Amino acid sequence: MPVNVIPAPPWSGRSDPEDGAGAVRLHHIVQDNAGRALIGFACEAGVIRNKGRGGAHAGPAALRGALANMAAPPDAKPFSDLGDIDVTADDLEAGQSALSDTLAEVLQQHERVIVLGGGHETAFGSYCGLAARYPGRQIGIINLDAHLDLRLTGDNGPSSGTPFAQIRELDPNRFDYLCLGVAEESNTQALMNRARDWGVNIVTDHALIADRNAANRAIDELVARSDIIYLTIDIDVLPHYEAPGVSAPAARGVPFATIEYLVGYILSQSKQSGRPCPLADIVELSPPNDPQNVTAKSAALLVRRLLFS
């Protein structure tokens, strides 16, 4: 079968009983039916179709490994692990459909679900699942990414470079997309022109490097005109030295401290405004391209923030 649903693996890690009741790590607080949940989308078909470096299929497992021994925040609530949607062949479309159907169901039971990708083809399945769960709601999309991922679908079908063009095809009039961290040299003029023509809002990597608050106004405006927020993080938005294990490492990138600030700011504005963020994903982690797991550790810090903010 090209797509399999695999139960959550057991979580394990370090325990320090000698330090008392407060020595809690994330692997200690995984339980069924929690308010927030993780689900893996183990897929790299979209990255391969997009002529990128393979390895994203191993992303969910590496992220769990990096999360397990992290200290739990004070008074952290438990979270659930819903297992993996495993795409073992090139049947990307079936994988996206399975992710969409699964999310439409589990978003009824969990206040926030974080999808561990997988390439950025994850985003189309994620969005479709969110839209199915909240029909008629205006979804504001915020993407932290060096790339616009607005390519049109070619002869090879959809890929990790096409998800937001695919989303727009579903309902062009309601497409509302903000991309933060865009690198000019990583996006052709055709893509930049398409973004302009489709009303995509952009804040560049240069702007965020100069001022971490450069995107605040754009975030505020998108949140204000949305009913719910979909946050997607492509880990290749980080510099190559903070995220070497991705499909396309960034020569410049936006520093981790700024990306962490942006995630916190987005979640804070979402909460304060009453426009919830029930779904987020983090994608393009490619563990085989990072033997020291630097990238998984960087990505896991952001997942931890999404779980407990």
**Any binding-site annotation on 147?**
yes
Q: How far apart are the first and last CA of the chain?
A: 37
**Any binding-site annotation on 75?**
no
**Any binding-site annotation on 28?**
no
**Any binding-site annotation on 145?**
yes
**Any binding-site annotation on 120?**
yes
3-state secondary structure string, the chain? Answer: CCEEEECCCCCCCCCCHHHCCCCCEHHHHECCCCCEEEEEEECCHHHHHCCCCCCHHHHHHHHHHHHHCCECCCCCCCEEEEEEEEECCCCHHHHHHHHHHHHHHHCCCCCEEEEEECCCCHHHHHHHHHHHHCCCCCEEEEEECCCCCCCCCECCECCCCCHHHHHHHHCHHHCCEEEEEECHHHCCHHHHHHHHHCCCEEEEHHHHHHCCCCCHHHHHHHHHCCCEEEEEEEHHHCECCCCCCECCCECCCCCHHHHHHHHHHHHHHHHHHCCCCCEEEEECECHHHCCCCHHHHHHHHHHHHHHHC
Which residues contribute to the annotated binding site?
120, 145, 147, 149, 234, 236
Binding-site sequence positions for Mn(2+)? 120, 145, 147, 149, 234, 236
